[in-house]
Structure 1
Amino acid sequence: MPKNKGKGGKNRKKGKNEADDEKRELIFKEDGQEYAQVSRMLGNGRCEALCIDGTKRLCHIRGKMHKKVWIAAGDIILVGLRDYQDDKADVILKYSRLMESYRRIRG
């Protein structure tokens, strides 16, 4: 039986680009968007988040982020508000710890 010489399976070969976070600019909210903090994860690509405006919303994690960007309770996210459903929103972006500290400094 041959000796394993690699460092992992097919997921490692896909090449996760960790350096991408450092180059990314800080994205601020626009019209129809709001900052929120995840209060709990619900499963099936959904979470419950408390928005800055004081509303608790059911948020849907969009397909581009699903299983690529891991979201946990306590994370700061940017959500897109829905015109036709006030109690639901879509997760647009997850702010990393580096971005959160930058936002606190800049005010």
Structure 2
Amino acid sequence: MSDNDSRKNLRMPEEDEVFAVVMDMLGANRVKVRCMDGVERTARIPGKMQKRIWIREDDVVLVEPWDWQDEKADITWRYEKQDADQLREEGHIQE
């Protein structure tokens, strides 16, 4: 098997979403994320993800910044470790 066989079509950010890396767990369903647009935001884990998708530090997520408060965002997607590694290899995420 070649490396191309293990490549997956991953969910990419839509026009209002941005890649982010979880930096710190704040509690109360909130996390501190470093977005790829250079802004650190407080992101909210929505109710539909709570207890279904576990988010930890250093996870790669997609966030949707709020229109009315740019320093806050909602998490819309969490990538598995293999998917995050693929995004890093393809240059979508800079550490």
TM-score bracket, normalised by the shorter chain, equals 0.7 to 0.9
Residue 81 in 1 paired to residue 65 in 2? yes
Higher relative contact order (CA 8 A, sep 6+): 2
Percent of counterpart pairs with the same letter? 37
Q: Which residue identity does 1:82 align to in structure 2?
A: W
Q: CA RMSD in A?
A: 1.5
Q: Which amino acid aligns with 2:49?
A: M
| Structure 1 runs of 4+ with >6 Å offset | none
Residue 69 in structure 1 maps to residue 47 in structure 2: no
Cα drift, residue 30 of structure 1: 1.1
Higher gyration radius (CA): 1
Which stretches in structure 1 are left out of the alignment for 5+ residues?
1-23
Please say if 1:51 is aligned against 2:35. yes
Tell me how many residue pairs correspond in the alignment: 84
The normalised TM-score by structure 1 is 0.72
Which digits, 9 at most, give the CA deviation of each residue in 1:4-39, with x for residues without a partner?
xxxxxxxxxxxxxxxxxxxx8510001111100001
1:42 aligned residue (21, 26, 32): 26
TM-score (ref. length: structure 2): 0.81
